């Protein structure tokens, strides 16, 4: 399958590292004009330079805090329209369920849910007017299999699935698709830190990863952490014209972690 996104502009939030950076790379390699986003100008510029050198594509960098209305306004001033919106920005972390404060619950919803809602409201009208667009939310297996050690994170990702389904209905018949990607346990720098919160910090990484999967994610059929490029491959496909009949879906790239035969 040859995916050609030439002429399309794609915004990937939280794309200075990890899954977001891999997604930006996949889209750039497919010909899209990619906008890297993060809060810190230096990190945005570094990521954009890296993508230009590795893909040869057109890559822009915009530093903006999309968790605030003011940050989104500043982003839109520089980027008034996009064809592909990937809401990848998210936070996670372990915390005892009974000790999660109201403020922490609000912070997780502000970052993981409302930032996506705000950007969809901003860019979806232009997509529907043009008759083409792709909106994608990066969700998690934790949206379905709520982890005991981070129920605030899992619940925010469950809400993100509902956001995607609802906006897909709002965009029905317009040529715009709205989907979620359910990412399983993925190997990123942040996840390495998370793994070491739950297993012996003195273990070498490969051993720590195996111990984490065995003790904390035994449902995984892959029996290893997913690599960011594997998530990016699905996102790139769903961003393409070839995925025109997939909308309102929660598509799994979870290594078989969710024990279900339906999405």
pLDDT per position as a tens digit, 168-222: 999 999 999 999 999 999 999 888 998 999 999 999 999 999 999 999 989 999 9
Distance CA 123, CA 173 (A): 17
Other Cβ atoms within 10 Å of 155 Cβ, number = 18
Among the listed residues 72, 68, 112, the one whose alpha carbon sits nearest the alpha carbon of residue 89 = 112
Active site residue 196: no
pLDDT for res 189: 87
Asked if the structure places residue 146 within a domain, the reply is yes
For the full predicted model, state whether its pTM sits above 0.85.
Answer: yes
Q: 257 pLDDT exceeds 90?
A: yes
- Is residue 126 a contact partner of residue 169, using CB atoms and an 8 Å limit? no
In a domain, 237, yes or no: yes
Query: Do the beta carbons of residue 225 and residue 213 sit within 8 Å?
Result: yes
Task: Please indicate, yes or no, if residue 236 is contained in any of the structural domains.
Answer: yes
| Residue 243 forms part of a structural domain | yes
| Number of residues in the chain | 263
The answer to whether position 4 is within a domain reads no
Q: How far is CA 197 from CA 23, 32, 170, 190, 209, in A?
A: 27, 38, 41, 11, 12
Which CATH number characterizes residue 88's domain? Answer: 3.40.50.720
pLDDT in tens, 60-79: 999 999 999 999 999 999 99
- For residue 263, pLDDT over 80 is answered with no
Residue 182 included in any domain: yes
Q: How many domains does the chain have?
A: 1
Q: Is 158 helix (H, G, I), strand (E, B) or coil?
A: helix
Catalytic residue among 108, 153, 237, 257: 153
| pLDDT at residue 37, as a whole number | 98
230 domain-assigned: yes
Q: Is residue 213 part of a domain?
A: no
Print the domain residue range for 157.
9-186+226-253
- What's the mean pLDDT when you consider all of the chain? 96
């Amino acid at each position: 399958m040859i995916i050609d996104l030439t002429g399309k502009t794609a915004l990937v939030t939280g794309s200075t590292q990890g899954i977001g950076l891999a997604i930006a790379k996949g889209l750039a390699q497919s010909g899209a004009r990619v906008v890297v986003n993060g809060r810190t100008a230096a990190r945005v510029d570094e990521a954009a330079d890296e993508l230009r050198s590795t893909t040869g594509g057109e890559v822009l960098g915009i530093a903006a805090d999309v968790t605030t209305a003011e940050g989104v306004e500043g982003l839109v001033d520089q980027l008034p329209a996009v064809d592909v919106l990937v809401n990848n920005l998210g936070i996670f972390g372990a915390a005892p369920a009974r000790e999660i404060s109201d403020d922490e619950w609000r912070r997780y919803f502000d970052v993981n849910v409302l930032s996506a809602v705000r950007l969809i409201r901003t860019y979806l009208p232009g997509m529907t007017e043009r008759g083409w667009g792709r909106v994608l939310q990066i969700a998690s297996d934790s949206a379905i299999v709520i982890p005991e050690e981070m129920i605030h994170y899992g619940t925010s990702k469950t809400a993100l699935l509902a956001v995607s389904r609802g906006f897909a209905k709002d965009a029905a018949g317009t040529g715009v698709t709205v989907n979620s990607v359910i990412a399983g346990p993925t190997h990123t720098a942040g996840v390495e830190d998370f793994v070491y919160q739950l297993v012996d910090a003195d273990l070498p990484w490969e051993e720590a990863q195996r111990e984490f999967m065995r003790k904390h994610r035994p449902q995984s059929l892959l029996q290893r952490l997913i690599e960011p490029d594997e998530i990016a491959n699905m996102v790139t496909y769903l961003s393409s014209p070839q995925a025109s009949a997939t909308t309102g879906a929660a598509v799994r790239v979870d290594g078989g972690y969710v024990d279900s035969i339906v999405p």
